[in-house]
């Protein structure tokens, strides 16, 4: 899920990884800044949280 816009590239935000789609299991949450040159991961599409049974409220802070 996107948690922060990038200041340098709107197509490469900071995302929070909470699920491994290949293994179909939750993973410990970690944030990844897709704008960093060392990061090769990219967003290829969007998926509804319900498809993977992810409870978004567990991973976002309430303002």
How do residues 13-49 score in pLDDT, each as one tens digit? 999 999 998 899 999 999 999 999 999 998 888 889 8
Q: Which two tokens stand for residue 16?
A: 């929070």
At residue 62, the pLDDT reads: 58
pLDDT-derived band at 61, boundaries 50, 70, 90: confident
Mean pLDDT of 39-62: 86
Domain range summary for the chain, segments of one domain joined by +: 2-58
Reduce the DSSP state of residue 42 to 3 states and report it: coil
At residue 58, the pLDDT reads: 86
Separation of alpha carbons 63 and 45, rounded Å: 27
At residue 27, the pLDDT reads: 94
């Amino acid at each position: 899920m996107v948690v922060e816009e990038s200041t340098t590239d709107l197509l490469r935000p900071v995302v929070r990884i909470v699920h491994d789609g290949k293994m179909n299991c939750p993973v410990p949450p970690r944030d990844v800044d897709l704008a960093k040159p060392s990061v090769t991961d990219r967003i290829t599409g969007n998926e509804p949280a319900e498809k993977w049974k992810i409870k978004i409220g567990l991973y976002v802070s309430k303002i």
